[in-house]
Chain A
Amino acid sequence: MALIECVDLTHVYLRGTPLEAVALRGVTLSIDAGTFVGLLGPTGSGKSTLIQHFNALLRPTSGTVHVAGIDLSQPRADVKTVRRQVGLVFQYPEHQLFEETVFDDVAYGPRNLGLATEEIQDRVQDALRLVGVDPDAFGRRSPFSLSGGEMRRVAIAGVLAMQPQVLVLDEPAAGLDPQGKQEILGQIRTLHRERGLTVILITHSMDEAAQLVDRIVVMNRGQVAMDGPVRGIFRRADELASIGLGVPAITDLMLRLRRRGVAVRPDVLSLEEARAAIWEAVRWN
């Protein structure tokens, strides 16, 4: 069985009231261990509701969700284990910082797990290093004295210190300056490659998705509208446009070239690939 498996998952807020709202309708989706999945879709398409099912913050109205073999549609499911395995980083996670020092804030999760002091120490230091924050220089500082980008990274470390197998991030780069964005995204890529974490990334940026993920799931109106390898999804530019989404700037350029009769590959993802494709198309012979 896949690491995360949703079958016919439906979630209705406030069922049976005048304010009833269907957020997910019949979502079937499975995510294998070790993959990097991009979750895209317009605002209100159900992305946030979906990821909250992955660590039992929400329970299905109908259908099932299995995480690491645990059936979360059962009321008595082992939620604690699931929360330990699936780390959830919400939008603007720095807004959840509360402790007096960076160290204590990152240690909050491990302490909730009831770990030994030394283990907590190790995990906090490890987590801070993973996000590029020096534990010795920053550990004793107040999280509220940091810059926006540093606060963001400390908050992400707070989730990493739980040592989850799956990391779910809701727009981790939102609101940062261009280099702050690159840094965070680079660290997430490293976590995936070097630690083998399964990563689910919600993003509005097609360029981010193109850079990072293997597979894209597009949500629309509470349903899975598209699901497949990243190159395949970006070939379907018209379908994406009909949902109000675009393609990465580079892919868009390739499509424009093809419309002008230049035979380039349409499914390039990076600047490097575009460069090669263009050279191939204009080269003599």
Chain B
Amino acid sequence: MALIEIQNLHHTYHAGTPEAVVALDGISLTIERGEFVAIVGGNGSGKSTLAKHLNALLLPTEGEVRVDGLDTREPASTWEVRQRVGMVFQNPDNQLVATVVEEDVAFGPENLGLPSREIVERVEESLRVVGMLDYRRHQPHLLSGGQKQRVAIAGILAMRPQCLVLDEATTMLDPLGQREVMETIHTLNREGVTVIHITHAMEEAAQCPRMIVLSSGRVAMDGLPVDVFSRADDLHRLRLVLPPIPALASQLRRDGLPVPERILDADDLASAIASLATERVGHGRVGNGAD
């Protein structure tokens, strides 16, 4: 059984009123345990609405979402679903409850009704995993954005979830903060946590093994980032922009330079170009440019 199974999911806000807005329009998806999935899409594509279905913060208007076999519509399983799927939100300032880091991390386990000795252990372990143990007695509002998000992640980890959903959790961060969060979630994924990373940043999506593109509440593409990036025109139509390296690679290929397909990062493109250049040593100005 897959960890998350979504079938024909529809969601309409203000259903049955004149202001009804269709946000999700028939989504079917399966996410296996241990996967690392990026979900991208322009504003209004339904990314956040989808995310909130994964832990029963929103319920389907039609269709169903199952988490670890539990139907999210079942009121009895709401809390089990939320314990299994933790969520980190966009604004680091609006999700920390307590005024001391460790007390905030304890908030989730306290809600689960765990004995205090176990809470203490989990808090310590979670803060260590995200590299914030030294800040346990600090006040969250004095931390940097990236540090706040890592505390928020620790707060989720302390609930021992199977899946971590980041709903644009890097959008408001500076490059350093983005890097901190990305490194943290990569580490968690290696340790077996399923990660679903919702983002605008195509460079971040390129780091994930699987990429789902949403558009107007539907799944427009689903596959390896290299495959998604090979469809530049479709991406543009979906209000998304190809990252510079794949964009340059496909431009060079269109120009007739035999650069291999499926290039994502600068290093691969550089070696491809370098080997093309060395084949022509003696003809061009190659080989004397090192500094």
Question: A256 with B244: in contact, given A178-B239, A204-B175, A285-B283 (CB under 8 Å)?
Answer: no
B241 touches A179 (CB 8 A): yes
Q: Hey, which chain A residues are within 8 Å of B240, CB to CB?
A: 177-179
Contact with A along B247-291 (1 / 0, CB 8 A): 110011001010000000011011101101110100111111111
B269 touches A177 (CB 8 A): no
A261 to B290, CA, bound (A): 5
A274 to B197, CA, bound (A): 31
A182 touches B241 (CB 8 A): yes
Q: Hey, which chain B residues are within 8 Å of A205, CB to CB?
A: 175
A253 touches which of B177, B248, B283 (Cβ 8 Å): B248
How many pairs of A and B residues are in contact by the CB < 8 Å rule?
127
Q: Hey, which chain B residues are within 8 Å of A177, CB to CB?
A: 42-43, 200, 239-240
Measured CB to CB, the nearest residue on chain A to B241 is A178
Q: How far is the CB of B82 from chain A (nearest CB, A)?
A: 26
Question: A175 with B289: in contact, given A278-B273, A284-B283 (CB under 8 Å)?
Answer: no
Q: How far is the CB of B236 from chain A (nearest CB, A)?
A: 8
B44 contacts the other chain (Cβ, under 8 Å)? yes
A43 contacts the other chain (Cβ, under 8 Å)? yes
A257 to B252, CA, bound (A): 15
Residues in A236-271 with C-beta less than 8 Å from chain B:
244-246, 248-250, 252-253, 256-264, 266, 271
Q: How far is the CB of A101 from chain B (nearest CB, A)?
A: 19
A180 touches which of B43, B271, B289, B290 (Cβ 8 Å): B43
A279 touches B244 (CB 8 A): no
Measured CB to CB, the nearest residue on chain A to B291 is A258
Q: How far is the CB of B176 from chain A (nearest CB, A)?
A: 6
Question: A271 with B266: in contact, given A278-B257, A281-B284 (CB under 8 Å)?
Answer: no
B202 contacts the other chain (Cβ, under 8 Å)? yes
Question: A256 with B267: in contact, given A177-B42, A177-B200, A281-B284 (CB under 8 Å)?
Answer: yes
Measured CB to CB, the nearest residue on chain A to B289 is A263
Q: Hey, which chain A residues are within 8 Å of B289, CB to CB?
A: 258, 261-264, 281
B273 touches A282 (CB 8 A): yes
Contact sample, A vs B, 19 pairs, CB 8 Å cutoff:
A44-B144, A148-B43, A178-B42, A178-B239, A178-B241, A179-B239, A180-B239, A204-B175, A246-B175, A249-B266, A260-B274, A262-B270, A271-B244, A281-B277, A281-B286, A282-B286, A283-B284, A284-B283, A285-B283
- Contacts A244-B176, A259-B270 known; 6 new A-B pairs at CB < 8 A: A147-B43, A256-B267, A279-B257, A282-B257, A282-B273, A282-B280
Residues of chain B having any CB pair with chain A under 8 Å: 42-44, 90, 144-145, 171-172, 174-177, 200, 202-203, 239-241, 243-245, 247-248, 251-252, 255, 257, 266-267, 269-271, 273-274, 276-278, 280, 283-291
